[in-house]
Amino acid sequence: MPEKIRASAIIFDFDNTLVNTHHAINYAYSEISKRLADKLNLDQESLKEKMFAAQKEAIDKQPLSNRVYDRKVVIEQVNSNLGLGLNENEINELAESFYDAILNKVTYPEYTENILEELKKRGKKLGLLTDTDVRPGLKKQRLEKLSFIRLFDALIIAGETIPQRKTGPIPFIELSRLLGVKPEDTVAVGDRMDADIDNAKEAGMKAILIDAFLPPNNGINEPDAVIHDIKDLLNIIY
């Protein structure tokens, strides 16, 4: 059992921390791969594999400071790699279909709301810090679908609510200010070592890595704890 962490406020990441976005992305790529396969008489599963390979090439390998999760770029990469001959309108339509699928595929553990309510009962202030989804307003729409969003005392969509994205400590510091809690009395919970753990630590906060939906990844700083389920927070934070 990790050492207990004292905190007055908890800042949560959203994607692959509170919700299973990896599952939603898999679903979205399946949807647009099916459309392409039917249109071009290609194999759907092979196309989906090419989509994930193109995402690694066009997005995942980019430094955090330059990384933009624009799925249109992924489709353009697949179009170029496979010589599909898609025009600009077709690429835009596929990108919109991807984002529509993400919006309609939100899954998370059924007890998530109960865990957040219990943390509130214990007197913890809750903040939500998430990056923009590139398509303006999409992240706000995704958040509004969740009943537990009402439990957060403050929320920042980095790149929309404020101009800075989660490529440095500024969004973390700004959210702790909105919560009225000093950074040193705040703990951040997220799935990414670079975007969440490193930036939270640079902001002067404690940080907890959650690997519920994604495997552990690399960063500069060590997290104060690693958990496998949001329920574990009840045994760690006091």
Measured between alpha carbons, how far is 222 from 63 in angstroms, rounded to an integer? 19
Domain co-membership, 126 together with 208:
yes
Domain co-membership, 16 together with 26:
no
Domain co-membership, 170 together with 99:
no
CB atoms under 10 Å from CB of 206, counted, come to 22
Q: Is residue 129 part of a domain?
A: yes
Q: Is residue 37 part of a domain?
A: yes
In terms of Cβ atoms closer than 10 Å to its own Cβ (0-12, 13-18, 19+), residue 213 is middle
Number of H helices, E strands in the chain: 9, 6
Calculate mean pLDDT across residues 234-238: 96
Task: Check pLDDT > 60 for residue 120.
Answer: yes
The domain boundary residue, chosen from 103, 138, 168: 103
Q: Is residue 4 part of a domain?
A: no
Residue 86 tokens, joined: 């898609």
Measured between alpha carbons, how far is 130 from 7 in angstroms, rounded to an integer? 20
pTM of the full structure: 0.93
User: What is the domain extent for residue 135?
Assistant: 9-20+107-236
Q: Is residue 72 part of a domain?
A: yes
Q: Is residue 173 part of a domain?
A: yes
What DSSP string describes 164-200? --TTSSHHHHHHHHHHT--GGGEEEEES-IIIIIIHH
Domain co-membership, 112 together with 211:
yes
Q: Is residue 3 part of a domain?
A: no
* pLDDT category of residue 64 using cuts at 50, 70 and 90: confident
What pLDDT shows up at residue 145? Answer: 93
For residue range 161-188, list pLDDT tens digits in order: 999 999 999 999 999 999 999 999 999 9
